[in-house]
Amino acid sequence: MNQKRKLELVREFIDRGFGRRRIAKALETTEWEARSLVKKVLGTKRPRPKTSVKTRKKVRRGVLEFPSSSKGSSETVIKMISSSEEDLEPREASSHVTGLKVAVISDIHYPYHDEKSETLVKMFLSDYKPDLIVLNGDIIDCYSVSSFQKDIKKKMDIQEEIDYTREKLMQWVDNFSEAKFTYLEGNHENRFARIIKNNAPALAALRTLNIADNLGLDELGIEWVPEWQDMQIGSMLFTHGHLVRKHGSASVRAHFEKYGCSILIGHCHRLSVSYKRTKFGTHALVENGTLCDFDVEYTKFPDWQQGFTILEFDGNEFAVTQHPIIDHKLIANGKVYTV
């Protein structure tokens, strides 16, 4: 193709809104040649980069080179990272089916849970069919080994709590046999280890005293993630959480300040999704809800929300959808679930 014909096509492409990358692809040439052709068509030259450093030697393609110091022969190089979005090009719209489907459930607090809300979640997930169910901590309450003052009406001992929770976990696995399960340790599961550490540290090494072993998670096919580990799927970090702030979304923002990435937490019994854009990308900050009973002895009218979170992944990227349960009603995906 001769130069004249190339220039005619470039003018046509510019009129159609093509960027230099798309022009290069259409002409089957390099982006450098496409840039040169665009400059000839437009009849303008790119302005020379400016710098306030008077000692500059020369500027080339975003790199400043300074003369060598008289005291040494090493050269100082400062890289200039552009934040311009001028090269973004229009693309044709397309769609495809998402990959991994993840459901996240936090803070059930067996046996002090809300049975109706748990039933609604199972009804929804039976329709949704997740690939992975993440049990994001405080699934068992371990109330009987808590260091806090006890309510004498709650009479289950720790073995009864464990047996009850194991039975509930068996039901989850049976109901969703096609899904994988991951269980992240929360601060309530950690009560089990703390009481042993504080009162009988010599017993801490016994394998049968581990909460995961007592729940029989290996036998149920549930992967256990201890509290000193976190789990990451794509660019989303999952952790039960350990920081609580007064207002919704503030707790997960405190975690973001520590981790600096997309993060999902439980622990605070609230529902919220917010986003934070930095130079390194857009990050999702997610607080997952609870399925516990709101009638607790240590506070009145807690600012909690029942519900759960769904994430759908496309490679490392994902979309977040939260489903609140209000007055035992769940509205989701064109359906109303009630009990």
CB-based contact 329:338 (threshold 8 Å): yes
- CATH number, domain with residue 132: 3.60.21.10
Per-residue pLDDT tens for 59-86?
444 444 445 544 455 555 565 554 445 5
The answer on 235 and 111 residing in a single domain is yes
Statement: residue 45 has pLDDT above 50: no
Which of 115 and 203 is assigned the larger pLDDT?
115
When pLDDT is averaged across residues 119-125 and rounded to a whole number, the result is: 98
**Which of 79, 110, 139 lies at the terminal end of a domain, its last residue?**
79
C-alpha distance from residue 53 to each of 50, 58, 63, 69, 76 (Å): 9, 11, 13, 15, 13
Query: Which pLDDT does position 60 carry in this prediction?
Result: 45
User: What pLDDT is attached to residue 107?
Assistant: 94
Q: What beta strand segments (E) does the chain contain?
A: 58-60, 63-65, 77-79, 101-105, 132-135, 180-184, 222-225, 231-233, 236-238, 262-265, 272-278, 281-287, 306-314, 317-325, 329-332, 335-338
**Does residue 132 surpass a pLDDT of 60?**
yes
Model confidence at 242: pLDDT above 60: yes
Let me know if residue 230 belongs to a domain: yes
Residue 18 has pLDDT above 60, yes or no: yes
Confidence of residue 105 (pLDDT cuts 50, 70, 90): very high
Mean pLDDT over each residue of the chain, to the nearest integer: 83
Lowest average pLDDT, out of 187-191, 224-228, 251-255, goes to 187-191
Tokens matching residue 293:
């009973």
Is the four-CA dihedral 41, 42, 44, 50 of positive or negative sign? negative
| pLDDT tens digits, 304-322 | 999 999 999 999 999 999 9
pLDDT in tens, 155-177: 678 889 999 999 999 999 999 99
Q: 204 with 135, same domain?
A: yes
Q: Where are the alpha helices (DSSP H) in the chain?
A: 3-15, 20-27, 31-42, 115-128, 158-175, 190-199, 211-215, 217-220, 250-259
Q: Give residue 223's pLDDT band: very low, low, confident or very high (50, 70, 90).
A: very high
- Residues 222 and 309: their CA atoms lie apart, in Å, by 19
Q: Is residue 96 part of a domain?
A: no
- pLDDT of 44 reads 52
Domain range enclosing 133: 101-338
- pLDDT for 55 equals 40
- Report the C-alpha gap between 58 and 202 in whole angstroms: 69
What is the pLDDT at residue 299? 75
- Work out how many domains the chain is built from and give that number: 2
In a domain, 94, yes or no: no
Whether 236 maps to a domain, the answer reads yes
pLDDT of 201 reads 67
The pLDDT value recorded for residue 58 is 45
**List of residues 6+ apart from 108 with CB closer than 8 A:** 118, 135, 138, 139, 168, 290, 291, 292
218 and 304 in a single domain? The answer is yes
Q: What is the pLDDT of residue 118?
A: 97
Asked which of 79, 114, 142 is the last residue of a domain, the reply is: 79
Report pLDDT for 47. Answer: 47
Nearest to 325 by CA among 298, 283, 285, 293: 293
More confident call, 227 vs 176? 176
Q: Do residue 145 and residue 64 come from a single domain?
A: no
Same structural domain, 34 and 136 = no
